[in-house]
Amino acid sequence: MSAVSLENITKTYNKGRVLAADAVSFEVAEAELFGLIGPDGAGKTTIFRILTTLLLPDKGSAYVQGTDVTKDYQTIRNKIGYMPGRFSLYQDLTVEENLNFFATLFGTSITANYDLIKDIYEQIKPFGSRRAGKLSGGMKQKLALCCALIHKPEVLFLDEPTTGVDAVSRKEFWEMLKKLKQQGISILVSTPYMDEAGLCERIALIQDGRIMKVDTPGEIIRSYPVRLYAARAANIYQLLNDLRKHELVDSAFPFGEYLHLTLKNDKNDGIEVLQQYAAAKGHADAEVKLIAPTIEDSFIRLMREKNGPEKPGLNK
């Protein structure tokens, strides 16, 4: 049995004018750490709200631990932990009061399931008497995770838990998720940050309400269909403008220190072609190399396959 399964889940808002989820299907296996990766507005939160029984789909079916989300919400609510994207604990209650409150709601106590939250809770315990509203972003996130775990859920739903949290706290958070998974908890986590995709076992890439691909991060990278080049020069903006004018260049995007490029009809001579062209355009120092794509490269490729090459400016 899958921990979570969705089949053709569709949801619209504003009397059908906004298509938030478009025939979404995927499965999360038991004790799997599964990532839903996509930008703001892609439909991630809609999917979470349907799976946590807070919203009914227009069409399709979805099951959590084998239970239909539209029929037996009480059973599901007892089995899941949900951390919404917006901080939703009581700001005026202390750390300890919040945790106690959620434990009591689920008919349990902090001590009964202390093992599960021990590692996380001990990091915020020194601030046990501080009001939740006065915690830093990283500590709020840890408290919210404790509250979502206190009734020992079988499936954990984490909607953008790392948005707005600094890099150190983010890293610690993903370490915690790995440990929870090892204890047999199935986890569905969403993030708009592509660099976090590699920390999941499998991921679904989502854009405009549609799942573009579901696979392991490694397989998504391996299946990138063309060779990918990275280029840089002292004047990277000029290099970008020059390379975009080259007839063989299919796509050219800034990617941090480098530009990432793909070619039309790549004859395995891309490095020479690009290097010579760059030199002819006055970039004597240009460096061109072949690189392995990232999840973000794959995401861009899939978006372009769907929408066609982007046009300059804002008009689509």
Helix (H) or strand (E) holding 60: strand 59-64
61 to 80: interface string for another protein, x by CB under 8 A: --------------------
Please state at what angle helix 167-182 crosses helix 137-149, rounded to 10 degrees: 10
How wide is the angle at C-alpha 32 spanned by C-alphas 30 and 36, nearest 5°?
120
In terms of Cα–Cα distance, which of 175, 168, 192 is closest to 296?
192
Name which of residues 113 to 142 contact another protein (CB under 8 A): 136-139
Identity of residue 228: L
Q: Does residue number 84 form part of the binding site for another protein (CB under 8 A)?
A: no
Q: Among residues 78 and 136, whose Cβ is nearest to another protein? A: 136
Which of these segments, 61-69, 149-157, 186-194, 212-220, binds another protein (CB under 8 A)?
A: 186-194
Name the DSSP class of 200.
Answer: S
Give the range of 72-80, 88-96, 147-155, 307-315 binding another protein by CB under 8 A. Answer: 307-315
Binding of residue 207 to another protein (CB under 8 A): yes
Closest approach, Cβ 299 to another protein, in A, equals 5
Find where tokens 């840890």 sit.
142
Helix (H, G, I), strand (E, B) or coil at 53: coil
How many other CB atoms are found less than 10 A from the CB of residue 311? 9
Contact with another protein (CB under 8 A): which of 171, 178, 179, 245? 171
The single residue among 16, 107, 184, 313 that binds another protein, judged by CB under 8 A, is 313
Determine, following the binding rule CB under 8 A, whether residue 35 of this chain makes contact with another protein.
Answer: no
Distance CA 237, CA 253 (A): 10
Q: Does residue 314 interact with another protein by CB under 8 A?
A: yes
d(CA 170, CA 168): 5
In angstroms, rounded to a whole number, what is the distance separating the alpha carbons of residues 263 and 68?
A: 47
The one-letter amino acid at 101: F
Chain centre to alpha carbon of residue 25: 16
Query: To the nearest whole angstrom, how small is the minimum distance from the Cβ of residue 119 to another protein?
Result: 17
Closer to another protein by Cβ: residue 66 or 282: 282
Is 282 a binding residue for another protein by CB under 8 A? The answer is no
30 with 7: CB under 8 angstroms? no
Q: Measured from the CB atom, is 29 or 240 closer to another protein?
A: 240
**Residue from 1, 167, 280, 284 in contact with another protein (CB under 8 A):** 167
Q: Which residues bind another protein (CB under 8 A)?
A: 38-42, 136-139, 163-169, 171, 192-195, 207, 236-238, 240, 253-257, 296, 299-300, 303-304, 310-315
